[in-house]
Amino acid sequence: MNPGNPVINVSKTAAWLKARTRKFKPVAAIIAGSGLANSLPELTDKISIPYSAIPNFPRTTVKGHAGELVFGRLRGKDVVIMRGRFHYYEGRPLSFIAFPVRVLGLLGVKTLIVTAAVGSLKPSLRPGDFLILKDHINFMGANPLMGNYDPLFGDMFPDMNEPYDAALRREALSAARKVKVRASEGVYLAVTGPSYETPTEVKVYRMLGGSVAGMSVVPEVIAARQLKMKVLGVCWISNFTSGISREILDHDDVLKLGEKVSVKMKALLETVLKSDKV
Query: Is 90 one of the annotated active-site residues of the chain?
Result: yes
120 classed as catalytic: no
Please tell me which residue in 215, 223, 229, 265 is annotated as part of the active site: 215
> Which segments of the chain does DSSP mark as H helices, in order?
6-20, 98-106, 166-178, 199-207, 218-226, 251-273
Q: Supply the DSSP symbol for 151.
A: G
Active site residue: 116, 239, 242, 267, which one?
Answer: 239
Exposure class string for 237-259: b at 16+ Cβ within 10 A, else e = bbbbbbebeeeebebeebbebbe
Q: Which of 87, 88, 98, 265 is catalytic?
A: 87
Is 239 annotated as catalytic? yes
Indicate if 136 belongs to the active site.
no
160 is catalytic: no
262 a catalytic residue:
no
> Does the annotation count 251 as an active-site position?
yes
Q: Are the CB atoms for 241 and 121 separated by under 8 Å?
A: yes
Catalytic residue among 89, 184, 185, 245: 89
Quick check: is 171 catalytic? no
Q: Is residue 216 annotated as part of the catalytic site, yes or no?
A: yes
Selected catalytic residue, list 14, 65, 98, 197: 65
Query: Per the residue annotation, which of 9, 34, 120, 211 is the catalytic one?
Result: 34
Taking CB atoms within 8 Å and a gap of at least 24, the contacts of 192-195 are 192/88, 192/89, 192/140, 192/141, 193/87, 193/88, 193/89, 194/87, 194/89
Q: What is the DSSP letter of 136?
A: E
Of 222, 263, 1, 255, nearest to 112 by C-alpha is 222
Tell me if 169 sits within 8 A of 134, measured CB to CB. Answer: yes
Pairing of strands 68-74, 44-50: antiparallel
The catalytic position among 98, 117, 190, 224 is 117
Beta bridge partners of 133: 186
Q: Which of 56, 95, 211, 216 is catalytic?
A: 216
Identified catalytic residue from 143, 251, 262, 275: 251
Annotated catalytic residues are 34, 65, 87, 89-90, 117, 215-216, 239, 251
